[in-house]
A = this chain, B = another copy of it.
Amino acid sequence: MALEHAILVSLLEKPGSGYELARRFERSIGYFWTATHQQIYRVLKRMENDGWVDARDVPQQGRPDKKEYSVADLGRAALSSWLHDPIEPESVRHDLAVKIRGAAFDDPAALIHEVERHRQAHRDRLTHYLAGQARDFTEPAARPADPGAPPDAERELQHAVLRGGIAYERMMIGWLDDVLATLARFGPDR
């Protein structure tokens, strides 16, 4: 399980409450990991008991108070140990691929709308990623002032992961176009 590690990474990038983490998991972290607030609260509690994170009550005005979490030494050590542990290349699960193979035993043409819907969802995500890239990773005019500056690992690696998301969405759009062309060959309702 890596949810706890995903949380550690997110908290290292910026401390926050369970609620804030849940929203990050809907956005940037959600590019490659999903989690509901239930999961996050449960795991945060366990991590606090294990001493991986420290909690701090933060009174707020205009909204309910929150518990802000930050990574403790034990959490940093746990993350480091996990990073040095090899993991197996993840197994994929594509409902849509099951549907495509299943369509041979039903009506292939009926799947066209579903595939188009998915294609659109991937287009939307791609647009969103590209906007994020333009916003956060456009070099602000070639920094000539400090040519030998050390590269910022956090930022560079975030960008590398985002490029992965972009490559993934482009691949999916291309493949779904391929699938649509294949489905079209079976004509309407046969």
Contacts and interface: CB of A to CB of B under 8 A. Distances in A.
A142 interface: no
A105 B76 contact: yes
A154 B9 contact: no
A136 interface: no
Interface in A81-125: 82-84, 86-87, 89-106, 108, 110-111, 114, 117-118, 121-122
B182 A160 contact: yes
A101 B156 contact: no
A104 B178 contact: no
A95 B86 CA distance: 11
A179 interface: yes
A156 B32 CA distance: 31
A158 interface: yes
A80 B111 CA distance: 11
A118 B89 contact: yes
A76 B151 CA distance: 57
Contact of A102 (B79, B110, B122, B168): B79
B151 A179 contact: no
A5 interface: yes
A6 interface: yes
A117 B79 CA distance: 20
A161 interface: yes
Given A110-B83, A175-B167, A157 B100 contact: yes
A105, A108, A186: residue with the most chain B Cβ atoms closer than 10 Å: A105
